[in-house]
Protein backbone atom coordinates (compact mmCIF):
# COMPACT_ATOMS: atom_id res chain seq x y z
CA UNK A 1 0.00 0.00 0.00
CA UNK A 2 1.43 3.43 -0.92
CA UNK A 3 2.64 5.57 1.97
CA UNK A 4 1.27 9.10 2.12
CA UNK A 5 2.46 11.82 4.43
CA UNK A 6 1.06 15.30 5.00
CA UNK A 7 1.06 18.01 7.63
CA UNK A 8 -1.86 18.47 10.02
CA UNK A 9 -2.69 21.47 12.22
CA UNK A 10 -1.69 20.85 15.86
CA UNK A 11 -5.31 20.82 17.07
CA UNK A 12 -6.30 18.09 14.60
CA UNK A 13 -3.22 16.07 15.43
CA UNK A 14 -4.01 16.39 19.12
CA UNK A 15 -7.57 15.22 18.47
CA UNK A 16 -6.28 12.11 16.66
CA UNK A 17 -3.96 11.29 19.54
CA UNK A 18 -6.78 11.76 22.05
CA UNK A 19 -8.91 9.21 20.19
CA UNK A 20 -6.05 6.73 20.33
CA UNK A 21 -5.44 7.35 24.06
CA UNK A 22 -9.12 6.77 24.81
CA UNK A 23 -9.11 3.51 22.80
CA UNK A 24 -11.68 4.92 20.37
CA UNK A 25 -9.25 4.35 17.49
CA UNK A 26 -6.25 2.05 17.20
CA UNK A 27 -4.01 4.60 15.53
CA UNK A 28 -3.96 7.86 13.57
CA UNK A 29 -4.22 6.09 10.23
CA UNK A 30 -7.47 4.33 11.16
CA UNK A 31 -9.10 7.61 12.11
CA UNK A 32 -8.03 9.40 8.92
CA UNK A 33 -9.21 6.50 6.73
CA UNK A 34 -12.61 6.35 8.47
CA UNK A 35 -12.98 10.11 8.14
CA UNK A 36 -12.29 9.96 4.40
CA UNK A 37 -14.74 7.08 3.99
CA UNK A 38 -17.44 9.15 5.69
CA UNK A 39 -16.45 12.13 3.52
CA UNK A 40 -17.13 10.04 0.41
CA UNK A 41 -20.26 8.30 1.73
CA UNK A 42 -21.97 11.57 2.65
CA UNK A 43 -20.57 13.43 -0.37
CA UNK A 44 -19.28 16.27 1.78
CA UNK A 45 -17.39 17.64 -1.21
CA UNK A 46 -20.78 18.55 -2.70
CA UNK A 47 -22.04 20.46 0.33
CA UNK A 48 -22.59 24.15 -0.30
CA UNK A 49 -22.18 26.35 2.77
CA UNK A 50 -24.98 25.55 5.24
CA UNK A 51 -26.73 23.24 2.79
CA UNK A 52 -26.16 19.50 3.14
CA UNK A 53 -26.49 17.88 -0.29
CA UNK A 54 -26.31 14.08 -0.61
CA UNK A 55 -27.14 12.32 -3.87
CA UNK A 56 -28.50 15.58 -5.23
CA UNK A 57 -31.03 15.92 -2.39
CA UNK A 58 -30.91 18.62 0.27
CA UNK A 59 -30.93 17.22 3.79
CA UNK A 60 -30.85 18.62 7.29
CA UNK A 61 -29.91 17.45 10.77
CA UNK A 62 -32.76 17.24 13.27
CA UNK A 63 -32.97 15.70 16.71
CA UNK A 64 -35.05 12.64 17.48
CA UNK A 65 -36.89 14.70 20.08
CA UNK A 66 -37.95 17.22 17.44
CA UNK A 67 -39.26 14.41 15.25
CA UNK A 68 -41.18 13.04 18.22
CA UNK A 69 -42.84 16.44 18.65
CA UNK A 70 -44.00 16.29 15.03
CA UNK A 71 -45.66 12.90 15.49
CA UNK A 72 -46.83 13.01 19.12
CA UNK A 73 -50.39 14.14 18.28
CA UNK A 74 -50.75 12.10 15.10
CA UNK A 75 -52.98 9.04 15.06
CA UNK A 76 -51.58 5.63 14.13
CA UNK A 77 -53.13 5.93 10.66
CA UNK A 78 -51.76 9.44 10.13
CA UNK A 79 -48.26 8.26 11.02
CA UNK A 80 -48.60 5.24 8.73
CA UNK A 81 -49.80 7.44 5.86
CA UNK A 82 -46.96 9.90 6.43
CA UNK A 83 -44.46 7.04 6.34
CA UNK A 84 -46.00 5.78 3.12
CA UNK A 85 -45.48 9.16 1.46
CA UNK A 86 -41.93 9.41 2.81
CA UNK A 87 -40.98 5.94 1.58
CA UNK A 88 -41.13 7.08 -2.02
CA UNK A 89 -37.98 9.15 -1.38
CA UNK A 90 -35.91 6.03 -0.62
CA UNK A 91 -37.34 4.28 -3.67
CA UNK A 92 -36.33 7.22 -5.87
CA UNK A 93 -32.88 7.44 -4.25
CA UNK A 94 -32.23 3.75 -4.89
CA UNK A 95 -33.52 4.10 -8.43
CA UNK A 96 -30.92 6.82 -8.99
CA UNK A 97 -28.31 4.25 -7.99
CA UNK A 98 -29.84 1.75 -10.43
CA UNK A 99 -30.95 -0.37 -7.50
CA UNK A 100 -34.41 -1.96 -7.58
CA UNK A 101 -35.22 -2.23 -3.88
CA UNK A 102 -38.56 -3.90 -4.59
CA UNK A 103 -36.57 -7.08 -5.25
CA UNK A 104 -35.93 -9.23 -2.15
CA UNK A 105 -32.25 -9.61 -2.96
CA UNK A 106 -31.88 -5.81 -2.59
CA UNK A 107 -33.74 -5.38 0.71
CA UNK A 108 -30.51 -5.43 2.73
CA UNK A 109 -29.01 -2.72 0.53
CA UNK A 110 -32.09 -0.56 1.07
CA UNK A 111 -31.99 -1.02 4.83
CA UNK A 112 -28.26 -0.27 4.83
CA UNK A 113 -28.99 3.12 3.24
CA UNK A 114 -31.35 3.95 6.12
CA UNK A 115 -28.80 2.70 8.64
CA UNK A 116 -26.11 4.89 7.07
CA UNK A 117 -28.41 7.89 7.52
CA UNK A 118 -28.89 7.15 11.22
CA UNK A 119 -32.42 5.75 11.13
CA UNK A 120 -31.54 2.83 13.41
CA UNK A 121 -29.87 -0.57 13.27
CA UNK A 122 -31.63 -2.76 10.73
CA UNK A 123 -31.66 -6.52 10.34
CA UNK A 124 -33.59 -8.80 8.01
CA UNK A 125 -33.78 -12.50 8.69
CA UNK A 126 -36.13 -14.69 6.69
CA UNK A 127 -39.40 -12.79 6.49
CA UNK A 128 -38.80 -10.62 9.55
CA UNK A 129 -37.36 -7.10 9.70
CA UNK A 130 -36.00 -5.83 13.01
CA UNK A 131 -35.13 -2.21 13.82
CA UNK A 132 -33.12 -1.43 16.94
CA UNK A 133 -33.23 2.15 18.27
CA UNK A 134 -35.44 3.40 15.41
CA UNK A 135 -35.58 7.10 14.58
CA UNK A 136 -39.36 7.08 14.01
CA UNK A 137 -42.35 5.40 15.69
CA UNK A 138 -43.33 1.93 14.44
CA UNK A 139 -46.33 3.22 12.49
CA UNK A 140 -44.14 5.60 10.47
CA UNK A 141 -41.55 2.90 9.76
CA UNK A 142 -44.33 0.47 8.81
CA UNK A 143 -45.69 2.75 6.11
CA UNK A 144 -42.21 3.82 5.02
CA UNK A 145 -40.89 0.29 4.44
CA UNK A 146 -44.07 -0.87 2.72
CA UNK A 147 -43.88 2.03 0.27
CA UNK A 148 -40.11 1.92 -0.31
CA UNK A 149 -39.80 -1.85 -0.72
CA UNK A 150 -43.20 -2.42 -2.39
CA UNK A 151 -44.17 -5.07 0.14
CA UNK A 152 -46.94 -5.74 2.63
CA UNK A 153 -45.86 -5.83 6.27
CA UNK A 154 -47.48 -6.81 9.53
CA UNK A 155 -46.45 -4.75 12.53
CA UNK A 156 -45.58 -7.15 15.33
CA UNK A 157 -45.58 -6.30 19.01
CA UNK A 158 -42.57 -4.18 19.88
CA UNK A 159 -40.60 -3.47 23.01
CA UNK A 160 -38.96 -0.15 23.82
CA UNK A 161 -36.42 0.78 21.16
CA UNK A 162 -36.97 -2.44 19.16
CA UNK A 163 -39.50 -2.80 16.33
CA UNK A 164 -40.49 -6.00 14.53
CA UNK A 165 -42.23 -6.36 11.17
CA UNK A 166 -43.18 -9.49 9.27
CA UNK A 167 -43.18 -9.56 5.47
CA UNK A 168 -46.61 -10.80 4.45
CA UNK A 169 -46.49 -10.26 0.71
CA UNK A 170 -43.64 -9.93 -1.78
CA UNK A 171 -44.47 -8.65 -5.25
CA UNK A 172 -41.21 -9.42 -7.05
CA UNK A 173 -40.10 -13.02 -6.75
CA UNK A 174 -38.90 -15.33 -9.52
CA UNK A 175 -41.55 -17.82 -10.46
CA UNK A 176 -44.16 -16.30 -8.16
CA UNK A 177 -44.91 -12.57 -8.26
CA UNK A 178 -47.15 -12.70 -5.22
CA UNK A 179 -46.36 -14.78 -2.18
CA UNK A 180 -48.57 -14.65 0.86
CA UNK A 181 -47.27 -15.59 4.25
CA UNK A 182 -49.30 -16.13 7.36
CA UNK A 183 -48.60 -14.03 10.44
CA UNK A 184 -47.01 -16.05 13.20
CA UNK A 185 -47.63 -13.77 16.15
CA UNK A 186 -49.39 -15.42 19.07
CA UNK A 187 -51.76 -12.75 20.36
CA UNK A 188 -52.72 -14.75 23.43
CA UNK A 189 -50.30 -14.21 26.25
CA UNK A 190 -50.06 -17.54 27.96
CA UNK A 191 -47.65 -20.14 29.16
CA UNK A 192 -46.26 -20.87 25.68
CA UNK A 193 -46.67 -17.46 24.13
CA UNK A 194 -43.42 -15.92 25.40
CA UNK A 195 -43.06 -12.33 26.56
CA UNK A 196 -45.49 -9.62 25.48
CA UNK A 197 -47.32 -11.97 23.13
CA UNK A 198 -44.23 -12.88 21.10
CA UNK A 199 -43.74 -16.39 19.88
CA UNK A 200 -40.66 -18.14 21.25
CA UNK A 201 -38.36 -17.35 18.25
CA UNK A 202 -39.19 -13.65 18.49
CA UNK A 203 -38.80 -13.69 22.28
CA UNK A 204 -35.30 -15.14 21.90
CA UNK A 205 -34.38 -12.38 19.43
CA UNK A 206 -35.65 -9.69 21.83
CA UNK A 207 -33.54 -11.12 24.64
CA UNK A 208 -30.49 -11.36 22.39
CA UNK A 209 -30.85 -7.75 21.27
CA UNK A 210 -31.41 -6.43 24.78
CA UNK A 211 -28.32 -8.20 26.10
CA UNK A 212 -26.02 -7.40 23.13
Name the β-bridge partners of 170.
Answer: 151, 179
Mean pLDDT of all residues belonging to the chain: 81
Residues 6+ apart with CB under 8 A from 196: 157, 159, 189
Q: Are residues 43 and 85 in the same domain?
A: no
What's the pLDDT at 55? 72
Per-residue model confidence as pLDDT tens digits over 60-103: 888 989 999 999 999 999 999 999 999 999 988 898 889 999 99
79 with 48, same domain: the answer is no
pTM over the 0.75 mark: no
Q: Give the residue, 193 or 3, on which the prediction is more confident.
A: 3
Please report, for the domain that includes residue 180, its CATH number. 3.30.1380
Q: State whether 27 and 81 are in the same domain.
A: no
Q: Alpha-carbon distance 121 to 130, whole Å? A: 8
Q: Are residues 181 and 96 in the same domain?
A: yes
What is the C-alpha to C-alpha distance for residues 103 and 94, in angstroms, rounded to an integer? 12
Q: 128 with 24, same domain?
A: no
Residues 127 and 194 in one domain: yes
How confident is residue 160, by pLDDT bands cut at 50, 70 and 90?
confident
Residue 65 lies in a domain: no
Query: 44 with 138, same domain?
Result: no
Domain of 162 in residue numbering reads as 74-211
Q: Confirm if 120 and 132 have CB atoms less than 8 A apart.
A: yes
Amino acid sequence: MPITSFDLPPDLLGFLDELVRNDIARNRRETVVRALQAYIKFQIHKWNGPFIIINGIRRGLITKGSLAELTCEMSHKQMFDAGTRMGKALHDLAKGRRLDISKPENYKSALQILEDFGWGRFDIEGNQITIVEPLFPAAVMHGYLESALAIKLKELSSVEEIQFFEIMRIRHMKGNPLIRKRAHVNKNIGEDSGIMGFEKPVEKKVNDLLTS
